[in-house]
Amino acid sequence: MNDGKLTDINPQNFTSDKQRDLYDYWLKIKKDHLMPSRKDFNPVDIPHILSSIWMADVIPGDEPTFSIRLLGTDVVEAFGVEATKQPLHEVEFSAGIVQRFRELIKVKQPYYYQGRFPVESEDYKYYSSITLPMSGDDEHVDIILSSVHCFN
């Protein structure tokens, strides 16, 4: 694995059951829409996944930006950062994430990513994420939901 690989969704490639479960849940709540909305998402439905997820709000503009809405405890622990309510671009290693999020806003489709762990760590060499769009109007992405798995 070099600098990272962005791929279409194939649950067989996921490195975590939590990612599979989140993707299945996202498909269930989106029903026949392009994307589910935040009101469709009920954390009570997926308590075993919550520690691995994070959410970002989309701030519209010529160059959309993102504000971290929530970080699961596993994400905070692995990356050593508690950035809830902070602009995503202020997180040291977020440039690639911001770029991928901007593309997701255009295509309105989930993606799967695997890459090198972006911070120095004795515990992890790699991480993967499934990243899913959400929309209040089924037209514009307003929240991005992701499940992260860190591994060696």
Average pLDDT over residues 52-63: 97
Whether residue 90 has pLDDT greater than 60: yes
Mean pLDDT of the chain: 95
Distance CA 31, CA 58 (A): 22
Q: Please report, for residues 22, 33, 36, 113, the alpha-carbon distance to residue 138 in angstroms, rounded to integers and kept in the order given.
A: 19, 7, 7, 24
Task: Please state whether beta strands 53-59 and 65-71 pair in parallel, antiparallel, or not at all (unpaired).
Answer: antiparallel
pLDDT at 1: 40
pLDDT tens digits, residue range 92-118? Answer: 999 999 999 999 999 999 999 999 999
Whether residue 43 has pLDDT greater than 60: yes
pLDDT tens digits, residue range 14-30? Answer: 999 999 999 999 999 99
Split at pLDDT 50, 70, 90, the class of 8 is confident
Q: Which helix (H) or strand (E) holds 119?
A: none
3-state percent helix, strand, coil for the chain, nearest multiple of 5: 30, 30, 40
Look at the alpha carbons of 107, 81, 89, 59 in this order and tell me if their dihedral is positive or negative: positive
Structure tokens belonging to residue 46: 């997926």
pLDDT at 3: 59
